[in-house]
Structure 1
Amino acid sequence: MKLLIVYLLVMNVTLLILMRIDKTRSGSASGRRHRIPERRLLGVGALGGALGGWIAMRMFRHKTKHAAFAAGFPVMVLIHAVVLIAAYRYLA
């Protein structure tokens, strides 16, 4: 159980950082730098980092108008919560 919590923590912090990097790179001054693909951001969210992505969306005002992010991250958070609760019940 502790390993699962550490994994989710790492994934959430990773996605929060990736969202910040992508937001920084989205500015016109850094237009020459490559952005982080949306597919990668959503993938990290699906693998456990959705809460970090959702928090990053609000903190940095990034990807808030994209339906895949605005609806996807909250749904992923609910799924992750259900998995975490089920794992706790099964392992406890």
Structure 2
Amino acid sequence: MIILFYYFLLLNVLAFILTAYDKRQAIKQKRRISEKVLLSFVLFGGTIGSGLGMLTFRHKTSKPFYLWKFWTIVVVQILITFVLFFV
């Protein structure tokens, strides 16, 4: 169980850092991290880190298509968690 904790901790920290880095690259108008990579981190458990990064750096918050994908992943994760622990 402790390994799972460290897995999610590391993934969320990386997702936060990647969001910050992508925002910085966007400001500098340089090569950016693809949305596919950012959403992959969300999909594999970096939801909190990515969400906090989005709010902290105001990154991707005005992109409806990205937000739609992000919140779809969040809802699916919540449903899976509910099914695993309460059904």
| Bin of the TM-score, shorter chain as denominator length | 0.7 to 0.9
Provide TM-score, normalisation by structure 2.
Answer: 0.77
The 8 Å contact of residues 54 and 74 in structure 1, kept in 2 or not, is answered as no
Over the aligned positions, Cα root-mean-square deviation in angstroms equals: 2.0
Match of 1:38 among 25, 35, 54: 35
**Cα offset for 1:65?**
1.8
Deviations 1:36-64 (A, max 9, x none): 00110000110110110000111000001
The 8 Å contact of residues 51 and 74 in structure 1, kept in 2 or not, is answered as no
- Corresponding position: 1:55 with 2:47: no
Provide TM-score, normalisation by structure 1.
Answer: 0.74
SS at 1:62 equivalent: coil
**Cα offset for 1:79?**
5.0
Aligned-pair identity in percent equals 31
Structure 1 runs (4+) deviating above 2 angstroms are: 66-86
